[in-house]
């Protein structure tokens, strides 16, 4: 059977670490509060001159090296991001150029924290349909540029980073077994950036006066929907493949909040050792969180041939989704 499978992964984060102790000096908060409510201990912050494309290219080079292919062999590059270098052209085109992937079609997609899984789903569809053979899917963000560093409700949560995966056509039974992606636009105002699009341009007085350039979020509403949606997407992946949670070797959820991950894992009936968590190191890196986790799990030897791995995401839009892989 013609399938798509991940043959290489990579990740890159900025050098600068911002710890909870650093945040205590910036807003009225504490390491204790942040740790108890989110599980986050530190996050990475992009340096001046470091952009989404900069981080994405680093992760992409690692993924290409692991897959053992050259950039010119790629026929598809998809970047999930909400922090593109520019409104246009697509940051994926800048990445294409930097990599020398001259034979690829490259585009960005905006699905917030589900950006990587949306991209993986599209790459899987292209590959199984015969329209592409070698795809690069990237999630990369510099969220620190759209975070209000005076708002303790949001600034503690987010970080910068990037992760990438090479996805190749393959004849066999392993690889991507299914993807399920969903949107629920009824909640678009629950988590969004109000300014800097065309509705509220960056240059408008209103955007400046009302500080619309920053992330806005109703945290408890997001929390509630996230657990329910991630359970739904995970359940769809398992039932589509006639599996149950006991078949999983590893669950890699979007790294937004430790309590969201624990609640989802509990609802699925997973034991803690089957749930991959690295958000204490990076915070919520939006579209980058799942590919960074996948890369770390792979390089740490936590993914063996034949393992069944479930990826599960939730983000602004709302968007959510899952992918079931046999490694």
Measured from the CB atom, the residue of 270 and 290 that comes closer to ligand COA is: 290
Q: Which is nearer to ligand COA, 113 or 147 (CB)?
A: 113
Residue 48 Cβ vs ligand COA, minimum distance, rounded to whole Å: 26
Q: Which residue numbers are catalytic? A: 113, 254, 284
Least Cβ distance, residue 4 to ligand COA (angstroms): 26
Region of residue 196 (phi > 0: left; psi between -120 and 50: alpha; otherwise: beta): left
Residue 237 and residue 311: Cα distance in Å, rounded?
Answer: 9
Q: How far is CA 156 from CA 43, 108, 173, 245, in A?
A: 9, 27, 42, 32
| Shortest Å, Cβ 191 to ligand COA | 6
Phi, psi (deg, nearest 5) at residue 56? -65, -40
Bridge partners of residue 175, in order along the sequence:
326
Q: Which residue is nearest to ligand COA (CB)?
A: 219
Our CB check for ligand COA shows the closer of 51 and 314 to be: 314
Judge contact between 107 and 136, C-beta under 8 A. Answer: no
- Output 226 or 297, the one with its CB closest to ligand COA: 226
Contact between 117 and 180 (Cβ < 8 Å): no
Select 222 or 236, whichever has its Cβ closest to ligand COA: 222
Q: How far is the CB of 110 from ligand COA (least distance, A)?
A: 14
Residue 37 C-beta: closest distance to ligand COA, Å: 4
* H helices present in the chain, as ranges: 20-24, 31-38, 52-67, 91-99, 115-128, 152-155, 205-209, 219-240, 258-268, 279-282, 289-299
What residue ranges bind ligand COA (CB under 6 A)? 29, 33-34, 37-38, 113, 152-153, 156-157, 217, 219-220, 222-223, 226, 256-257, 284, 314-315
Nearest CA to 127 among 307, 6, 8?
Answer: 6
* Residues in Cβ contact with 154 at an 8 Å cutoff, skipping those fewer than 6 apart: 147, 148, 214, 215, 216, 217, 219
């Amino acid at each position: 059977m013609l399938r798509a499978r991940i043959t290489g992964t990579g990740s890159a984060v900025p050098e600068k670490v911002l710890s909870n102790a650093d945040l205590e000096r910036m807003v009225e908060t504490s390491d204790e509060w942040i740790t108890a409510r989110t599980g986050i201990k530190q996050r990475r912050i992009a340096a001046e001159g470091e952009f989404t494309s900069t981080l994405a290219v680093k992760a992409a080079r690692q993924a290409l090296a692991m897959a053992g292919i050259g950039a010119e062999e790629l026929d598809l590059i998809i970047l999930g991001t909400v922090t593109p270098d520019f409104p246009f052209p697509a940051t994926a085109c800048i990445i294409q150029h930097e990599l020398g992937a001259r034979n690829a079609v490259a585009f960005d997609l905006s699905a917030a924290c589900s950006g990587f899984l949306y991209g993986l789903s599209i790459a899987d569809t292209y590959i199984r349909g015969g329209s592409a053979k070698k795809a690069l899917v990237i999630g990369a963000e510099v969220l620190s540029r759209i975070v209000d560093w005076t708002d303790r409700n949001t600034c503690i949560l987010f970080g910068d980073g990037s992760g990438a995966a090479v996805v190749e056509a393959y004849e066999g039974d392993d690889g991507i077994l299914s993807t399920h992606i969903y949107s629920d636009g009824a909640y678009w105002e629950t988590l969004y950036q109000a300014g800097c699009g065309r509705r509220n341009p960056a240059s408008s007085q209103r955007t400046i006066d009302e500080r619309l350039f920053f992330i806005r979020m109703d945290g408890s509403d997001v929390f509630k929907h996230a657990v329910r949606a991630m359970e739904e997407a995970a359940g769809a992946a398992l039932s589509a493949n006639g599996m149950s949670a006991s078949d999983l070797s590893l669950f890699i959820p979007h790294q937004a909040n430790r309590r969201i991950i624990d609640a989802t894992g509990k609802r699925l009936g997973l034991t803690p050792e089957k749930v991959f968590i690295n958000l204490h190191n990076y915070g919520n890196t939006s579209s980058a969180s799942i590919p960074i986790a996948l890369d770390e799990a792979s390089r740490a030897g936590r993914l063996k041939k034949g393992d069944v791995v479930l990826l599960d995401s939730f983000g602004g839009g709302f968007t959510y989704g899952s992918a079931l892989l046999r490694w």
